[in-house]
Chain A
């Protein structure tokens, strides 16, 4: 699916889905139980994987099989979770039973197929929205895990929110080292420190992290920094343009870019200022699958500019910048 189809479905009527990822033993299930038992008056449907080591304390729990398949569009990175399509479809027949859905993935899972499911399936798209990928990171073991496992890089790269758990088990110097390692991979997701999964619910649930809206509104300077690492592995690039964009040109450029480099570009997110449009446009992509929608007008006093973030491998910053700039109105 290489086209950057720019739809505009109302986000409020869609059921928010939180994807909980993180390496084995990082504390996913502890965090999940913390979320479920907190006093929030909200009901969640929980989709867990069959290898979950701890019990989950909730009425509506569904076992998933993590069955990944490739879409028949000739693109090997367009993998989706078929079991989730079935499970979400069935859960949506009981829409009145819950306020949101939480999906826990296995520790070794690549988050891409889960995220891509929300782009690729028309029924899932029609009724749910991916609120955020929340990645739980174990402060004690992550540096070692990053050396051994490419999946751990993927999970951090995909995160909209990072929960840095078990911070009580490391000293300040170690914590700093861990935070730097996370930032090298994903410069943009907010990092919340926690012990035994004791996070504020507002940090993980209904954060709208996937469309950047709240992330950007709470951190106006967040994307201004330029992180540039001349090294192997996953890193981040952010770009800003003050001139309004031509929507058609942007679509052409990003479509071609994701088609060509989509295997390396894990996540793309942006808030865009299209020429002649009163609303901000939120753009997002997972590998080659892209989506976008209007997210309301610019606020008074807010600078109208287009900001775009890439997280991936082999990102060529000058090339990306030139491409993005070529989308500006002449």
Chain B
């Protein structure tokens, strides 16, 4: 394990970092944006409180899973987190550090997402071919959604009315409303390995095994193909308004336009990279037209697409960035690497 000697960039003045044991599998802020969690392939969850951001030694470590922690989402309550692991457990880590097992199966729990708005709260988790849709407490399974093959990604739409899952030969879109049983099957041959939904519900996008993206315009099911990547796309993030979709998978950040008829027939925009290193993670700021990108050389940068201005967040991270996420207020940016470096930067004014 190589411990980076000197991290450069915004993290020097506005952030902190620490090296923990294990590959960092995900990171996310709690719903109140007061806590930020990192999950590891050792099954641990490391939680930084915003007040202790500058003191990484005080970030608490919780041994939640026996085996790797594979998935992370903010809990439906303000201060907690939800995790899935290859021990087949769906767990809640609450704001007091208490661990509660919400579900257990024989299969790896590979994906966890949550949704909260004024009307409803849901938790969904995927293991094998099944997606379990639960209520906001997570104790009641409202529906078990069956798919033709293993689910590789799940996503709620912005309003929580639908949940979509990617799998072989396409994606399935389900209504969360308990009485609705119907599924909309969007078909495209091949192995779909990840999923993202347009914030205004205009399109559903999947990443594919064959170094492409596929998409469906949700109004009419029209197919969208986006290709030209040298490697698989493992990270996708829509801008706040849905104007752009940022993706990893090339040595630059690739931005697909979702306006003016795009992305059909439009070339993507390319933003600056890190001198040839592969982009491994992208995250759009939820509040501003700025995005963060992580690279295989361990660098994290922020880019303002319009001006193409680049701000280094962390250089010399040592190994590939494997997790990257903003808090929903856009004020915290966290990242993790394959060799266990975790970093957190406070972007708020003052």
B208 nearest CB neighbor, chain A only: A72
Band of interface residues on A: 20 to 34
Q: Does B168 contact A (CB under 8 A)?
A: yes
Measured CB to CB, the closest approach of chain B to A82, in angstroms, equals: 5
B77 adjacent to chain A (CB < 8 Å): no
Q: Is B152 an interface residue (CB 8 A)?
A: yes
State the Cβ distance, A297 to closest chain B Cβ, in Å.
Answer: 31
- Flag whether B191 is at the interface (Cβ < 8 A): yes
Given contacts A65-B128, A69-B168, A70-B189, contact A82 B232 (CB under 8 A): no
List residues of chain A with CB within 8 A of the CB of B70.
Answer: 90
- Tally inter-chain residue pairs, CB-CB below 8 A: 60
Contact of B68 with A by CB under 8 A:
yes
Q: Mark each residue of chain B from 168 to 181: 1 if its CB lies under 8 Å from any CB of chain A, else 0.
A: 11000000000000
Contacts A67-B150, A94-B23; A72 near B210 (Cβ below 8 A)? yes
- In the assembly, what is the distance between CA of A72 and CA of B214, in Å? 12
A326 CB to nearest B CB, Å? 33
B107 at the interface (CB under 8 A from A): yes
- Using Cβ atoms and an 8 Å threshold, which residues of chain B touch A93? 22-23, 25, 41, 68, 338
B150 touches A83 (CB 8 A): yes
- Check: B231 CB closer than 8 A to any chain A CB: yes
CB closest chain-B residue, reference A94: B41
Q: Which B18-35 residues sit within 8 Å CB-CB of chain A?
A: 22-23, 25
- B184-195 vs A, Cβ < 8 Å mask (1 yes, 0 no): 000001110000
Contacts of B226-241 to chain A: CB distance below 8 A? 231-232
Selected contact of B210 from candidates A67, A71, A123, CB within 8 Å: A71
Whether, in the assembled complex, A63 has its beta carbon less than 8 Å from a beta carbon of chain B, the answer is yes
Contact with B along A113-151 (1 / 0, CB 8 A): 000000001110000000000000000000000000000
Residues of chain A in range 64-103 having any CB-CB distance to chain B below 8 Å: 65, 67, 69-73, 80, 82-83, 85-86, 90, 93-94
Which residue from A63, A69, A80 sits with its C-beta under 8 Å from B107? Answer: A63
Interface size on B, residues (CB 8 A): 30
Contacts of B152 in A (CB 8 A): 86
Q: Which residues of B contact A80 (CB under 8 A)?
A: 209
Chain B at the A interface: SS class: loop
**A82 engages B68 (CB within 8 Å):** no
Contact B106 A63 (CB under 8 A): yes
**Does B108 sit at the interface, judged by CB under 8 A?**
yes
Residue-wise interface mask of B (11-49) relative to A, using a CB-CB cutoff of 8 A (1 in contact, 0 not): 000000000001101000000000000000110000000
Residues of A within 8 A of B232 (CB): 122-123
Give CA–CA (A121, B338) in the complex, Å. 19
Q: Which residues of A are found within 8 Å of B338, using beta-carbon distances? A: 93
Q: How far is the CB of B153 from chain A (nearest CB, A)?
A: 11
For A71, the chain B residues whose CB sits under 8 A away are: 190, 209-210
Q: B22 to chain A: which residues have CB within 8 Å? A: 93-94
**Which chain B residue has the least Cβ–Cβ distance from A50?**
B106
CB closest residue in chain A, given B106: A63
Query: Are B149 and A72 touching (Cβ within 8 A)?
Result: no
Residue in A closest to B190 when the chains form the complex, CB atoms = A72
Look across to chain A and name the residue whose beta carbon is closest to the beta carbon of B210: A72
Which residues does chain B contribute within 8 Å of A70, judged by CB atoms? 189-190
In contact, A90 and B189 (Cβ under 8 angstroms): no
Q: Closest CB of chain A to B312's CB: distance in Å?
A: 27
A86 to B108, CA, bound (A): 11
- Identify A90's interface contact among B106, B108, B169, B212, CB under 8 A: B108
Nearest CB of chain A from residue B54's CB, rounded to whole Å: 29
Cβ-defined contact, B190 with A69, below 8 A = yes
* B191 and A82 form a contact (CB under 8 A): yes
Supposing A85-B209, A94-B23 touch, asked if A122 and B231 sit within 8 A by C-beta, the answer is yes
B191 touches A69 (CB 8 A): yes
Which of chain B's residues have a CB closer than 8 A to the CB of A82?
149-150, 168, 191, 209
Q: In the complex, which residues 194-226 of chain B have their Cβ closer than 8 Å to any Cβ of chain A?
A: 208-210, 212
> What is the distance, in angstroms, from B247's C-beta to the closest C-beta of chain A?
16
Q: Is the CB of A67 within 8 A of B41?
A: no
In the complex, the chain A residue whose C-beta lies closest to that of B168 is: A69
Q: Which residue of A lies closest to B128 (CB)?
A: A65
CA–CA, A123 and B108, complex, Å: 20
Beta-carbon nearest neighbor of A126 in chain B = B231
Q: A69-B169, A85-B209, A94-B22 are in contact. List 9 more A-B contacts (CB 8 A).
A: A63-B107, A65-B150, A82-B150, A83-B150, A86-B150, A90-B70, A90-B86, A122-B231, A123-B232
User: Which chain A residues have a beta carbon within 8 Å of chain B's beta carbons?
Assistant: 62-63, 65, 67, 69-73, 80, 82-83, 85-86, 90, 93-94, 121-123
A-B contact pairs, 16 of them (CB 8 A): A62-B108, A65-B128, A65-B149, A69-B190, A69-B191, A70-B190, A72-B208, A82-B191, A82-B209, A86-B150, A86-B152, A90-B68, A90-B108, A93-B25, A93-B41, A122-B232
